[in-house]
Structure 1
């Protein structure tokens, strides 16, 4: 971010790739070799670095911890092409809204009747309302059928000759208790039992999202208060501050080593627009910054790109995907081994070399 000059960058683990280089060279060493870009250390434009290795590592962690649960990536939260290509290479499923999908949810009679008219061959999943009281962003007030309606809805699906294949629920975003999932799965079990009695053979359980695997920490210091203006804010890549209550608190980190005894100041940090609503933080504990310093913001994946705007004439931050050379080669091999469909030009070695 630009501190009236201060630039910023977001990405979880890229600094480990070249520990010996000076701070700014570590960033630009990642984006310069293979990308045609005008971003330089003296640039005043914000940009994002997408750490594709982080995507791969988390996918592997999911498969290790939940081997029976196939992940479906929510495209709406970050549709960066390179991220989608990597997930496709990993054979991940995709959760999206499109006229061409063949599997969809329903939670009311009206939806079933519309589906019977517009897409009678669709594979349907009954979404149920569950207890989401432990979540920061609750969804069951808007989506999901109560258990008392399940038998009626499944019966109507049978009468309309529609195919119901499963049950889904969502405990809400930022769920803080595992009991919510336990109770929701128990409710889903009841739906399976009701379906069995009606002769409806369902085999899929969609457990939605909402898991909160992050932890928060606080810092304090003896310094006074400072105020900074940077070149990205809540109308840009940091929209999660106001739009996503489940997002962990934003941490602004200087792109340099901070001494153990270095004074940290309680700092007010503003975004670049004319709107006083554009405040990134009113209590960031950071050491004193100078014009031209860089700030890092980690874990800015979901919704940071898809909800950003160009309000007030400030362009959206560019995204530069990065990945280790070893993983890059593996992706290229896997991609080129996939048999192409007629007319499909989206998969190939040349495309993956550029990521």
Structure 2
């Protein structure tokens, strides 16, 4: 077992590991940023997903967090995988995952990646254009294709339909083009955008898929697969609640794709599985007080992790996250508007666009950010020579036993 894997003792939590690590680093005066991952959360999230959406088979979205340990646990739990590149395909196949348990869910694929998928018998893949069909016909004619549909996802935190998805006007044409090229279209897919804010978007998208199923069957395709994509909330206390979203999805499936139709339903959850897995701990390396007009104080804190590290995705979130301050105060402290800057020399290196309210802190103090497992480590860089935060993995003995016995 790698040195970074920590087996939790009886009653021990990952949060306790975070605080212990903070104390150790502070004693050594070596306060580099780090994350602690609780791999046991993956098992609990998987159970919640399967109970709430019993007809839906999860294909974990590798792009969200491609840690080898995350992928190994997810594979041991029995999920399939959503891959978007040759590297992700290699990573998942190396775990012994069957090619039939992978969907290559990127509608725009380089020729060499298509050829790799063909060589390794990864047949299920998405498309949304005639040009993609031409490439597939030449380089992977045995592919089982899924037509990705445009979806109104403007209310989502991270909309995707500006880049991907076939419009209503071209769907029948694409289905006929695939038939004329000798390609098999087996179903449809959509994505309501990451962190979907309106569950009803699933209802409309599923209804649209039903119409495209009829189009596909009308031109000779055996339509048997529905991919409802991702967009499920992952952070604790997220709105809307996952349970409410699941009820909306189940109702739409019952209306448009009842079980007796035999249609296989899959999804591509990523954030839902891993957002709550990781907790980040960062340190204040510098500080500056600014006097605003009217005599108000604003504090600038410079943190040893930022936009070019694990916080890259958070500049796109509408509301900044307020961290947990690891410091004891004798009494309740006043708070001030604060800007959290990252460590690089780029003035745009901020953790969030807006200010957060924090008490006055000192250089050397620690801040904790929960729910940092989604789109954090995968987006980190070494810009300006700052290394990504180290990651320490924890698991309970039962999960360790599962991994040791998994094929």
Matched, 1:329 2:324: no
C-alpha change, 1:139 and 1:293, in structure 2 (3 Å) is same
Tell me which protein shows more helix as a share of its residues: 2
- The separation in 2 between residues aligned to 1:147 and 1:276, in whole angstroms, is 43
SS in 1 for 2:179: helix
Counterpart position of 2:78:
91
Identify the residue that residue 29 of structure 2 maps to in structure 1: 42
- Displacement of 1:20: 11
- Please give the TM-score of this superposition, normalised by the length of structure 2: 0.68
Instruction: Supply the distance in 2 between the matched residues of 1:22 and 1:106 (Cα, whole angstroms).
Output: 44
Does the aligned pair in 2 maintain the 1:18–1:26 contact within 8 Å?
Answer: no
Q: 1-side partners of 2:373 and 2:180: how far apart? A: 44
Match in the other structure for 2:332: 261
Gaps of 5+ in 1: 1-13, 30-37, 218-222, 339-355
Residue of structure 2 in register with 1:273 after alignment: 344
Does the CA-based 8 Å contact 1:253-1:286 persist in structure 2? no
Q: Which residue matches 1:209?
A: 230
Count of residue pairs the alignment pairs up:
307
Residue equivalent to 2:19: 24
Shift of 1:42: 3.3
Instruction: Look up the match of 1:72.
Output: 59
Measured on the aligned residues, the alpha-carbon RMSD in Å equals: 3.0
8 A contact 1:39–1:45 mirrored in 2: no
The aligned residue for residue 68 of structure 2 is 81
User: Structure 2 matches for 1:183-194, cutoff 5 A?
Assistant: 183-194=204-215
The separation in 2 between residues aligned to 1:320 and 1:20, in whole angstroms, is 12
CA distance in 2, matches of 1:307, 1:20: 24
Deviation (angstroms), 1:68: 1.1
Match of 2:303 in 1: 230
2:362 maps to 1:315? no
Shift of the alpha carbon at 1:305? Answer: 0.8
Structure holding more strand per residue: 2
Q: Distance in 2 between matches of 1:189 and 1:260?
A: 60
Q: Which residue number in structure 1 is paired with residue 198 of structure 2?
A: 177
Change (3 A) 1:23 1:111: closer
Contact 2:14–2:394 at 8 Å: present in 1 too?
no
**Aligned counterparts of 1:22 and 1:63: Cα–Cα separation in 2:** 29
Change (3 A) 1:254 1:41: farther
Do the aligned partners of residues 228 and 39 (structure 1) sit closer, same or farther apart at CA in structure 2, a change above 3 Å counting?
closer
1:307 CA drift (Å): 1.1
Q: Which has the higher contact order (CA 8 A, sep 6+)?
A: 1
Contact 2:309 2:389 in 1 (8 A): yes
CA distance in 2, matches of 1:274, 1:197: 59
Offset at residue 264 of structure 1 (A): 2.8
Is 1:240 the equivalent of 2:261? no
Q: CA deviation at 1:331?
A: 3.0
Go from structure 1 to structure 2 and tell me whether the alpha carbon gap of 1:230 and 1:116 turns closer, same or farther (over 3 Å shift): same
Gaps of 5+ in 2: 1-8, 87-112, 240-295
Judging changes above 3 Å, is the alpha-carbon distance between structure 1 residues 161 and 229 closer, same or farther for their aligned structure 2 residues? same
Once the two structures are TM-superposed, the CA of residue 26 in structure 1 deviates from its matched residue by 6.3
